[in-house]
Copies of this chain bind each other. A is one copy, B any other.
Amino acid sequence: MRTDRRNCLHDHAGQRRVQRRPVHRRQNYPAGKTPHRAASVSDVPKSHPRYESLRLREAIVAGVKRGVTSEHGLIAHGRGEAYDYLLGEKTHDFALAAIDAAAQLLTSASHPVISVNGNVAALVAADLVRLSEALGAPLEVNIFHASKQREQAIRSCLQKHGAGEVLMPSTDAELDFIDSNRKYVHPEGIYKADAIFVPLEDGDRCQALRQMGKAVVTVDLNPMSRTSRAASITIVDNVVRALPLLLESLRGLAADNGRHSAEFDNLAHLAAAEREIRSQGS
Contacts and interface: CB of A to CB of B under 8 A. Distances in A.
A192 B97 CA distance: 56
A21 interface: yes
Number of copies: 2
Interface in A145-174: 145-148, 169-171, 174
A171 B23 CA distance: 14
Nearest to A21: B179
Looking at A12, A39, A178, the one whose CB has the most chain B CB atoms below 10 A away is A12
Interface string A9-24: 0111101110011111
Interface in A185-229: 202-204, 211, 222, 224-227, 229
A29 B171 contact: yes
Nearest to A10: B226
Contact of A74 (B12, B74, B178): B74
7 contacts: A11-B226, A12-B203, A12-B226, A15-B226, A16-B226, A17-B204, A79-B79
